[in-house]
Amino acid sequence: MVVRIQSVHFTADQKLINFIQKKMDKLDTFYDRVVDADVYLKLENTNTRENKIVEIKVNVPGNDLVVKKIASSFEEATDLCTEVLSRQLRKEKEKVKMA
């Protein structure tokens, strides 16, 4: 799967990029017709610890799946996003099977 990662107003280190790529590659096991994905990493300017935002947009034929999560680390937010996306991709696969 082609994954484009964009970090807004900061530079993401290679370790974080590799972690996200690995998580996104696992999504192929749930639905093999995923075209590509865009991952946006943002820092929210607040005083709370939970200020890391990960937004993932997955393109599948005929649909776009978008998930946005806020957590205290980008890794945690990525985990939350991929859990939701795995459920959504399973549902998408079931819809295709039914049709």
Instruction: Identify the CATH number of the domain in which residue 29 sits.
Output: 3.30.160.100
Range of the structural domain that residue 65 is part of = 2-98
Number of domains in the chain: 1
Tokens of residue 11, six digits = 């530079």
Can you give the pTM of this predicted structure? Answer: 0.93
pLDDT of residue 47: 87
Residue pLDDT, tens place only, 57-99:
999 998 899 999 999 999 999 999 999 999 999 999 998 888 7
Neighbours of 99 (CB within 10 A): 5
Angstrom distance (rounded) from CA 86 to CA 57:
13
